[in-house]
């Protein structure tokens, strides 16, 4: 028992290494940009541009850190108590050895729950680990060891499960980190070129005018551009992919494995059209879209569905008003 507990603690500690790495890179980038570039490198004749650089840098830095913090420390939402089996039913379920009998117990318990999705075999989705009937779009995260509402994926870079409670924060984290890196790369580029081509001759007569001094700041600026450009490329692809997911109202899990409804699997089962799909994540009030505060629609337990196989961008979407009881009567 004790070795298992120690191993678990070690795993939790090691899981913070990627977050610590990102935090150290961000702290270094702040020092390199503000101190080494803006204060020590940019000449006094560039005081106006230096002020503009610092203002926009701190705006992007604050929004990036804020959204990153919210993504890390927002606890994943879990199924409510109504999705737990009653004590008597739970005992019966555990005693039953036949899967058919277990499914009968689950069907009775789920008769009053708003469920539209099934397993691939058409059975009720149940988590033996958490001992709950899984709501639609809910999945068990082995890293967090819990069922997460509208789970998207477990991200090691935030040491947290990305789902219903923090998916908007994750999207903003990608957006502001991309903006942060792009701003750094764009403003550092001219000084990167100057340092890269810095005259190494000792004779002042042979050096170009307005050249920067050959100091240790050169290494910070050169490395800062390389790091910002590298992160830009990696974040851009991930950010573009998640924007596509938001537009389709899919999670990463659903993109790889389409949800199964009464009529079968349907990759567009939760898609309501482009505008409504965006509102599902960011909310109805556009003034809050760019702020890392929770504005997503719904409670994470139930979601409006189409229950048709048409592409929402090629046909008119009609929202389903079916209830679970309607499904039960037709199965």
Better pLDDT: 70 or 314: 70
Considering the domain boundaries, does residue 180 fall inside one? Answer: yes
Better pLDDT: 248 or 40: 248
Considering the domain boundaries, does residue 121 fall inside one? Answer: no
Q: Give the integer Cα–Cα distance in Å for 198 and 324.
A: 71
Considering the domain boundaries, does residue 194 fall inside one? Answer: yes
Q: Give the integer Cα–Cα distance in Å for 299 and 297.
A: 7
What range does the domain containing 30 cover? 5-75+163-202+213-239
161 forms beta bridges with 154
Q: Residue 205: pLDDT band by 50, 70, 90 thresholds?
A: very low
Of 299, 327, 266, give the one whose Cα is nearest residue 115: 327
Decide if pLDDT at 328 tops 50.
no
pTM score of the predicted model:
0.86
Considering the domain boundaries, does residue 130 fall inside one? Answer: no
The catalytic residues are: 155
Report the pLDDT value the prediction gives residue 302, as an integer from 0 to 100.
Answer: 93
Considering the domain boundaries, does residue 126 fall inside one? Answer: no
Q: Give the integer Cα–Cα distance in Å for 167 and 164.
A: 6
Mean pLDDT score across all residues of the chain: 85
Of 220, 75, 235, 62, give the one whose Cα is nearest residue 161: 75
Q: Give the integer Cα–Cα distance in Å for 19 and 127.
A: 29
Decide if pLDDT at 231 tops 90.
yes
Considering the domain boundaries, does residue 42 fall inside one? Answer: yes
Mean pLDDT to the nearest integer, 292-299: 96
3-state secondary structure at position 77: coil
Mean pLDDT to the nearest integer, 274-299: 96
Considering the domain boundaries, does residue 53 fall inside one? Answer: yes
Report the pLDDT value the prediction gives residue 190, as an integer from 0 to 100.
Answer: 85
Residues 306, 319: contact at Cβ < 8 Å? Answer: yes
Long-range contacts for 288-292 (Cβ within 8 Å, ≥24 apart)? Answer: 290/63, 290/172, 291/172, 292/63, 292/66, 292/67, 292/70, 292/71, 292/168, 292/169, 292/172, 292/173
Domain count, the chain: 1
Report the pLDDT value the prediction gives residue 237, as an integer from 0 to 100.
Answer: 95
Cα–Cα distances (Å) from 288 to 150, 240, 246, 278, 281, in that order, read 21, 21, 17, 13, 12
Decide if pLDDT at 199 tops 60.
no
Considering the domain boundaries, does residue 115 fall inside one? Answer: no
| Residue 199 CB contacts under 8 Å (≥ 6 apart), including other chains | 206, 207, 208, 211
């Amino acid at each position: 028992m004790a070795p298992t507990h120690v191993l678990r603690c070690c795993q939790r500690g090691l899981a913070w290494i990627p977050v610590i790495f990102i935090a150290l890179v961000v702290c270094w980038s702040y020092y390199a940009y503000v101190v080494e570039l803006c204060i020590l490198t940019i000449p006094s004749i560039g005081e106006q541009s230096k002020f503009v650089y610092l203002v926009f840098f701190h705006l992007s830095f604050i929004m990036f850190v804020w959204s990153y913090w919210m993504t890390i420390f927002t606890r994943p939402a879990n199924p409510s108590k109504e999705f737990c089996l009653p004590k008597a039913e739970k005992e019966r379920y555990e005693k039953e050895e036949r899967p058919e009998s277990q499914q009968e117990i689950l069907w009775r318990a789920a008769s009053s729950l708003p469920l539209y999705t099934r397993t691939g075999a058409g059975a009720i989705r149940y988590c033996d680990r958490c001992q709950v009937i899984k709501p639609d779009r809910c999945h068990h995260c082995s890293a967090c060891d819990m069922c997460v509402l509208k789970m998207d994926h477990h991200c090691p870079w935030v040491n947290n499960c990305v789902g219903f409670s923090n998916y908007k924060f994750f999207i903003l984290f990608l957006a502001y980190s991309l903006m942060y890196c792009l701003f750094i790369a764009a403003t550092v580029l001219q000084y990167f070129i100057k340092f890269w081509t810095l005259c190494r001759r000792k004779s002042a007569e042979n050096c170009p005018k307005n050249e920067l001094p050959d100091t240790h700041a050169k290494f910070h600026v050169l490395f800062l551009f390389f790091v910002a450009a590298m992160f830009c490329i990696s974040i851009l692809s991930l950010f573009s992919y998640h924007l596509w997911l938001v537009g389709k109202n899919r999670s990463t899990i659903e993109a790889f494995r389409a949800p199964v409804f009464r009529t079968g699997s349907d990759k567009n089962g939760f898609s309501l059209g482009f505008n409504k799909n965006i509102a599902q994540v960011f909310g109805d009030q556009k003034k809050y879209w760019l702020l890392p505060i929770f504005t997503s629609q719904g409670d994470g337990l139930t979601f409006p569905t189409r229950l048709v196989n048409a592409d929402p961008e090629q046909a008119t979407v009609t929202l389903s008003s079916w209830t679970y009881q309607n499904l039960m009567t037709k199965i």
